[in-house]
A and B are shown apart, each in its own frame.
Chain A
Amino acid sequence: MNKILIIVPAYNEEANIKQTISALSAIDNDVDILVVNDGSTDATSHIVSALPNVNLINLKINLGIGGAVQTGFKYAKKYNYDIAIQFDGDGQHNANEIEKLLHALTEYKADMVIGSRFINKQGFQSTLSRRVGIFVFELLNAAISGQRVSDNTSGFRAYSKRAIEYLAVSYPQDYPEPELVIIMAKKGFRIIEVPVIMNKREGGKSSINGLKSIYYMIKVILSILITSMRKF
């Protein structure tokens, strides 16, 4: 029986977190839920601590998504979990699709399964400008790793024990998702994608807007290029 941990990074998600957790609590699989509150300034921590069967880790200082998710991996490594699932706290991901990721992870002996919204092109497909950005990552990552990943920015992922042990020690920070695909590929981890349906976020707001999106593109492309020059 695999020990499974669902890592839910949450920064100021008071509008969505309760619904996210209740959806996760309702799934059939025997899983533990860990919310990593990334130094929220709203009631996120308060709301989560009142919920049953949820483990809460409070980061005293906001580390960003990379630092928050890595905290989950450190926890998973410490408590000897076999599988970790990264699941956003903002209501974008569907809890009933976790099974799909778990199935792919064990069936294909993968180390990282990415839930992609662009394989079946169902559900919320994001805005045009974001899709262009995501397509740039797809081409860039394919050129470097030789592996086509359609949804490099997806934060809906499942990881094997081997991956957990690696990521607990080394995880990219500051918009880590696309870069991580390259790192995992270069490290020789097996990556696969499965189609999922994502929702438009219900409340709160995305962390990437306006000028930040330009910084985001530059930072991620630079990170990918530099990662490609590193030896693993």
Chain B
Amino acid sequence: MNDILSSLQGVNTKLIQYYSIAFSIGFLVFIVELVRRRRIREEYSIIWIVFGLVFLFFSIFRGALNFLAYNLGIAYVPMALMLILVMGIFLILVQYSIVITKLTEDNKNIIQENAIVNNEIEALKRDIEILKSKGNKNNLENNA
């Protein structure tokens, strides 16, 4: 146990900062690239970009995270990061519910409209058949 603790004391905590910065930048590039390729619409990318930037900010300015944790009464600083992460995921999920609701409503309207139009087409088809058979009859009578 003591061995592990003593070895941890020698950990270079700068390392995680570099990784965080690299990850945040990579993530932002990834999102922007998805938008550029039209795999994500601009309006749905905003929330991801904002959280990417928030992470980048805290990766660069570690003091800001300490400041935030101190003022929120969080004793263990990385928990402040977790809190931001969880909040971000919550917001994104809520946004999904909004989008799904809109899609459901649009979908319903399209299904209804499609059914009414199909009904109209069927009625027109029947009318055409009737007209055709009348036309045939007239032709037969004229020929006779």
Contact = CB atoms under 8 A, between A and B. Distances in A.
A56 interface: yes
A59 B108 CA distance: 10
Interface stretch (A21-29, A69-77, A178-186, A207-215): A69-77
A67 interface: yes
A122 interface: no
A58 B118 CA distance: 8
A221 to B, nearest CB: 20
B111 interface: yes
A71 B114 contact: no
A60 B111 contact: yes
B111 A56 contact: no
Interface string B98-120: 00000000001001111110110
Interface residues of B, number: 9
Interface in A33-91: 36, 55-61, 63, 67, 70-71, 74-75, 78
A75 B108 contact: no
Q: Give the size range of A's interface with the partner.
A: 10 to 19
A74 B116 contact: yes
Contact of B119 (A57, A60, A63, A70): A57
A195 to B, nearest CB: 33
A63 B108 contact: yes
B108 A67 contact: yes
B114 A67 contact: no
A60 B116 contact: no
Contact of B111 (A67, A75, A78): A67
A173 interface: yes
Contacts of A61: 111
A64 to B, nearest CB: 9
Contacts of B116: 57, 71, 74-75, 78
Top 5 A-B pairs ranked by shortest CB distance? Answer: A71-B112, A57-B119, A57-B115, A59-B115, A67-B108
9 contacts: A36-B115, A57-B118, A58-B119, A63-B112, A67-B108, A70-B112, A71-B116, A75-B119, A173-B108
